[in-house]
Amino acid sequence: MKKVNLENYRKDKYYPRIVSVVEDILSNGNIVKTIDVFVELGMLEKKKLKDWKEGRAPYLEKVLSGSLSKLSRILRILRFHVHDLNLKPQKQCIKNGKKVLRYSKYGDRNLEEAYSYEFVKLSKKM
């Protein structure tokens, strides 16, 4: 499997589904959260998401379905797609009490950031 990059991400088998999910999310608001994309893709059950948010799962990847390489691939395609849509990335910090929740098994900074982003649709000025 080739690494997803700027030249080939639109040809990836996950791209059409990600586009559809992002469109659905944007039809209901101005923010696309990475976690919501995984929920809509069927890779994250709402009950398991709640378990993670309440500290009953050590990290988000533990409750996501799919291999780590598949999850990483989807994150990368999502990032390229929202860039094309001109959505502004901003980090969100999810806490359980005072503790910041962890997204990845190993706590890799880049991966933690990739999971934590939400993308905001900027309003057009008249």
Q: Convert the pLDDT of each residue in 39-58 to its tens digit.
A: 999 999 999 999 999 999 99
- Provide mean pLDDT across the span 78-92: 94
Burial of 71 (0-12, 13-18, 19+ CB in 10 A): buried
Higher-confidence position of 99 and 32: 32
pLDDT score for 126: 45
For residues 75 and 38, is the Cβ–Cβ distance under 8 A? Answer: no
- Provide mean pLDDT across the span 17-43: 97
pTM: 0.90
pLDDT score for 13: 96
